[in-house]
Amino acid sequence: MPSFLWHSKTPRLAIVDQDGLVSTRSSDVHVSNISVALDKDPLNVAQAQIQFLPPCKLEIVGKTIQAEMGSTLYVPISLKLCGKKMVEFLAADCQHVHFGVDTDSGLHYDDTKPNRGPQEKPSCASIPLKSDVPLLAKVTVSLDMQLDDGNLIHLEDTATVSFYKPLRVVYPESAQTVLAPGSSRNIVFEGGPRAMTGQSQLSRKLLFTNTGLAQVN
């Protein structure tokens, strides 16, 4: 693997580490020039101009998010940046931004763990939440920033999250059924995701390994 040398031409405004991660040193609007060269061929250089803009809108993507209890639920975050004349730009990656997270009791957020990178547009990061019990709770994600001119920016959004019991067969307890030809039997399940407010009714689907031998009413 080739190694690279990263360099910021405006270190007062932005720095770059040797993994190529650029961090701003100013909260005001500015433009920084970042260059990268091959370690063994320093004359082979590429440059990029990076514009830093203040955030103007934070949004939790999807207002009803759920996962099985005991697992990690990643809440997708979308962040918009505003340029001159309030033209909005969608942030591509904001996993290194420190967001404030306020949750109801029973919901756990570990701010010592890094956020996950963007999974799909328009999210730019995903915040990990966890619960060991089934619950329905509110989570508020916020971002506070003070600009160089002293102005304060506060952005936040709130969503409902749910953790449900694992889906399992209640009856028959063995989860196995033997039927005579032409007979039928009720199979009872519990747990699994449920429709939440603002979400369309969930549908169920049962699959058979040997199609044509049985059907569901």
Question: How confident is the model over 2-46, as pLDDT tens digits?
Answer: 689 999 988 888 889 988 888 877 666 678 889 999 888 888 899
pLDDT of 138-190, one tens digit each? Answer: 999 999 988 777 888 999 999 999 999 998 888 888 878 787 887 887 888 88
Report the SS3 class of residue 86: helix
**pLDDT greater than 80 at residue 102:** yes
How far, CA to CA in Å, does 90 sit from each of 65, 125, 198, 203?
22, 12, 25, 34
Domains and CATH numbers, the chain: 4-52 (no CATH), 55-164 (2.60.40)
What pLDDT was estimated at residue 188?
A: 84
What pLDDT was estimated at residue 58?
A: 96
Q: How many CB atoms lie within 10 A of CB 109?
A: 17
Q: How does residue 217 score in pLDDT terms, banded at 50, 70 and 90?
A: low
Q: Supply the pTM of this predicted model.
A: 0.74
Distance CA 168, CA 43 (A): 62
What pLDDT was estimated at residue 212?
A: 61
Distance CA 204, CA 1 (A): 48
Average pLDDT for the chain:
84
